[in-house]
Amino acid sequence: MSDRLETVKSLIAAHPDFPKPGILFRDVFPVLRNAKALRMLIDLLCEHIKSTVASADIIVGLESRGFLFGPMVAEQLGIAFVPVRKAGKLPGKTVSVSYTLEYGTDKFEAQEDSVKKGQKVIILDDLLATGGTMKAAIELMEKLGAVVELCLVVIELDDLKGRNKLNRPFYSLIHY
Ligand code: PRP
Ligand code: ADE
């Protein structure tokens, strides 16, 4: 593992039994308390995108922790940022999809005019657990006619095998 990745990983905290008994919660927020580590993380994400994706139009960030890194990556790459939000938060016409995650169920929405047919998107989130959230985001983007070039997360919980649900190019920086 590279020095930069080691630095970022060393800052990720683990909280047993949060938000429910039996869940070991991986907390990425301490990385944001360290400006140098945050810059390393954004650089690592951008470097992976540049080396694997020929061209992309949009970084799609998933509420809420995908909003932390998505706009920073989009700005560094010089492309758009589009949010996918939990139901009822976005104005105008929306498309929606329901999904299950490691500790519950939820509904995601995107604005109908946020992505044009054929646009190439990279979906970004902090963490992949069961993969339900990422799978829902893929479904939502493809409903809008987007082409999902890459699904990218900072942290992957390997035991849950969420990546097997995606059937799209996928990459994670840090594994537990
Ligand atoms: C967390 C995390 C991912 C999702 C992963 O979000 O940020 O989005 O769970 O779980 P999955 O792979 O099992 O679907 P959460 O829904 O807790 O929302 P938050 O980001 O608003 O805290
Ligand atoms: N989202 C789903 N499972 C999670 C976990 N174990 N830690 C942090 N976020 C999560």
Distance 21 CA to ligand 2 centre (A): 12
Question: Per residue in 20-71, pLDDT tens?
Answer: 999 999 999 999 999 999 999 999 999 999 999 999 999 999 999 999 999 9
Whether 102 is catalytic is: yes
Active site residue 6: no
- Say if residue 101's pLDDT is above 80: no
User: Of 26, 63, 102, 109, which one is the catalytic site residue?
Assistant: 102
For ligand 2, atom 7, name the residue with the nearest CA: 25
**Is the reported ipTM for this assembly greater than 0.95?**
yes
Ligand 1 atom with the smallest distance to the CA of 131 is 12
**3-class SS letters over the chain:** CCHHHHHHHHHCEEEECCCCCCCEEEECHHHHCCHHHHHHHHHHHHHHHHHHCCCCCEEEEECCCHHHHHHHHHHHHCCEEEEEEECCCCCCCEEEEEEEECCEEEEEEEEHHHCCCCCEEEEEEEEECCCHHHHHHHHHHHHCCCEEEEEEEEEECHHHCHHHHCCCCEEEEEEC
Nearest residue by C-alpha to atom 22 in ligand 1: 64
Ligand nearest to the CA of 99: 1
- Residue 63 Cβ < 6 Å to ligand 2: no
Question: pLDDT tens for residues 134-163?
Answer: 999 999 999 999 999 999 999 999 999 999
Pocket of ligand 1 (CB under 6 A): 62-65, 101-102, 106, 125-133, 162
Task: Confirm or reject: Cβ of 160 under 6 Å from ligand 2.
Answer: no
What pLDDT, on the 0 to 100 scale, is given for residue 102?
67
CA of 156 to the centre of ligand 2 (A): 9
